Amino acid sequence: METLSVANPQRHPAPPGARSDWTIPQRWSDYSKAEHGIWNRLFTRQLAQLQERAVPAFLAGVQALGMEPSGIPRFEALNEELNRLTGWSVVAVPGLVPEEVFFQHLAHRQFVAGRFIRSAAQLDYLEEPDVFHDVFGHVPLLADPVYASYMQAYGEAGSRLREGSAAMTQLARLYWYTVEFGLIRDGDRLRLFGAGIVSSNGESEYALDSPEPLRIGFDLKRTMLTDYRIDSFQKNYFVIDSFEDLVRRTSVDFAGLYKELEGIAPIAVGTRLPTDMLFPPNPKP
Distance, CA of 60 to chain centre = 17
Task: Please name the amino acid found at residue 123.
Answer: L
Cβ pair 223, 198 in contact under 8 A = no
Which one, of 84, 128, 129, 131, lies nearest residue 109 by Cα?
84
The reported pLDDT for the residue numbered 205 is 96
Q: Which of the following CATH numbers is that of domain 28-261: 1.10.3210.10, 1.10.800.10, 3.40.50.150, 3.30.70.2190?
A: 1.10.800.10
1 has a pLDDT exceeding 60: no
Whole-angstrom distance, CA of residue 109 vs CA of residue 187: 31
Whole-angstrom distance, CA of residue 200 vs CA of residue 73: 19
Whole-angstrom distance, CA of residue 282 vs CA of residue 63: 26
State whether the Cα torsion 227-101-153-50 is positive or negative. negative
Confidence of residue 284 (pLDDT cuts 50, 70, 90): confident
Whole-angstrom distance, CA of residue 200 vs CA of residue 66: 21
Burial of 50-79, coded b for 16+ CB within 10 Å and e otherwise, reads beebbbebbbebbebbebeeebbbebeebb
2 has a pLDDT exceeding 50: no
245 has a pLDDT exceeding 50: yes
Cβ pair 116, 135 in contact under 8 A = no
SS3 140: helix
Classify strands 89-93 and 182-186 as parallel, antiparallel or unpaired: unpaired
pLDDT, tens digit (0-9, with 9 covering 90-100), for 31-40 = 999 999 999 9
Helix H or strand E segment including 186: strand 182-186
Q: Taking the model in full, what pTM does it have?
A: 0.94
Q: Map out the domains of the chain as residue ranges.
A: 28-261
Whole-angstrom distance, CA of residue 110 vs CA of residue 97: 13
Whole-angstrom distance, CA of residue 135 vs CA of residue 11: 28
6 has a pLDDT exceeding 90: no
